[in-house]
Amino acid sequence: MDNMKQVTNPYLPFWEYIPDGEPYVFGNRVYVYGSHDFFGGDVYCMGNYMGWSADVSDLGNWRCEGVIYRKDQDPENGDMQGNLYAPDVTVGPDGRYYLYYVLSSRSIVSVAVCDTPAGEYQFYGYVHYPDGTRLGEREGDEPQFDPGVLTENGKTYLYTGFCGGGDRSRHGAMVTVLGEDMLTVEEAPRFVAPGVMYCEGTGFEGHAFFEAPSIRKRGNLYYFIYSSIQFHELCYAVSTSPTENFEYKGVIISSCDMGIDSYKPKDKPMYYTANNHGSMTQIGDDWYIFYHRHTNGTNYSRQGCFEKIRFREDGTIIQAEMTSCGGTPLRGEGTYPAYIACHLFTDTDMTYIPWSGWMDDRFPKITQTCGDEDMERMAYIANMRSSATAGFRYFDCRGVKRISIRTKGYATGVVEVRTAWDGEVLGTFPIAYANVWHDTEAEIAIPDGIQALYFTFVGRGHMQFASFTLS
């Protein structure tokens, strides 16, 4: 397909913010279901649910399916104080698509239904016990949060939970078995993964369940995927049963590459992070993990990314790196926007977004303009002060001899280019004060092969970084 686009992260347009991604292949398309943040948002999940899909053979071209469910459709949300938190979707025994979610203002599970994967869902009901009591409201129930669902053999397995540190009233992630009507509880909740207050001696120590439960099946193994108490990592536990005996196995991805030691020290963070949420799916011959990153220097403007993952023979997963390319190297030619940076850091290591309302002005951030016209809207890296580094992984470089960068800002100094975060400087660009975007070109040769590129500002002031061109 000549019109196929390269895959970049984030995989949706720069102006779209769909975190908490749950990917599924239905027919010949992959659909992603997530919550909906806003650029400049001041709380999580401010928007309605949006549908996005792509042909399984063209993951660089995503199609907006429009609004698939509005927050005013839930009868419990008459005052509109409830935001639509992270959803999940499953196909019921009747072939219809069921969307499970929890409002931010409630601790019960709501369900909507649709005849197609990304049509307009209609409110269907609340998950409840046979006597009509809603799950989460019976005495002894723990609050419901972040539903993940799997349907097989006429039963739907509903995974929920949230466990913050210091709260002994919440024990861990739960699974509840529902009947064929997709609403009625057939088996009461049981715990499948412990929270931090109850993880000692379980094998989950250091990676206890925090939130974002998700479930997938591969072969005869059930993979329980979740966000751990570390926030930034998606971990997984494995069992041959959907309801018990899950064993912690490791980290699938960290949104700051913590734990990766192939190109850096294991405990060095490479991006400013906070919570994480996502899941995995098979697309064609490959498996992918979907997750999200944080932008604009806050917790509330999150964007979806995905990476290829690899399995060992025993079914365990090799932790994936964050990339700018979703696992398939980009062509080492042409112009690339700076907002696809998968690494962003300074000489002061910082794992979590350093903010108190807004990001500390010592650190760079990915942000965007908000013009009324498309030509005025763009994403870029702001506030690159001395030592600020933007990293991009990976490019298939063949004969790259020249690079140009587009920058502006009250800055003077140089931008250094490397192929490793701590590598040899291959060349520099002079940087001077510029009130409008300005292109600077230099003859900088990049060795042939699969390469990362790192751009570091050294100087005074603060620089904005829009794009770079390889030729």
Tokens 């294991």 identify what position?
Answer: 266
Set 37, 211, 233, 416: catalytic member? 211
Question: How far apart (Å, rounded) are the C-alpha atoms in residues 291 and 226?
Answer: 11
Question: How far apart (Å, rounded) are the C-alpha atoms in residues 160 and 134?
Answer: 14
- Tell me if residue 392 falls in helix, strand or coil: strand
Burial of 99 (0-12, 13-18, 19+ CB in 10 A): buried
Sign of CA dihedral 458, 464, 470, 471: negative
CA 96 to chain centre: 27
* Closest to 206 (Cα-Cα) out of 144, 256, 251, 149: 251
- Tell me if residue 173 falls in helix, strand or coil: strand
- Tell me if residue 139 falls in helix, strand or coil: coil
Complete DSSP assignment for 202-254: TT-TTS-EEEEEEEEEETTEEEEEEEETTSSEEEEEEESSSSS--EEEEEEEE
Question: How far apart (Å, rounded) are the C-alpha atoms in residues 409 and 404?
Answer: 17
Complete DSSP assignment for 270-289: -S-B-----EEEEETTEEEE
Exposure b/e, 2-32, CB count within 10 A at least 16 = b: eeeeebbbbbbebebbbbbbbbbeeeebbbb
SS3 content of the chain, % helix, strand, coil (to 5): 5, 45, 50
DSSP structure class, residue 441: E
How many other C-beta atoms can be found within 10 angstroms of the C-beta atom of residue 412? Answer: 14
> Known catalytic residue: 20?
yes
- The two tokens of residue 287 are 């498996």
Largest CA distance in the chain: 74
Question: How far apart (Å, rounded) are the C-alpha atoms in residues 307 and 323?
Answer: 7
How many other C-beta atoms can be found within 10 angstroms of the C-beta atom of residue 262? Answer: 8
Tokens 């102006």 identify what position?
Answer: 15
Set 16, 20, 37, 142: catalytic member? 20
Contact 108, 160 (CB under 8 A): no
Question: How far apart (Å, rounded) are the C-alpha atoms in residues 423 and 49?
Answer: 43
**Which positions are catalytic?**
20, 211
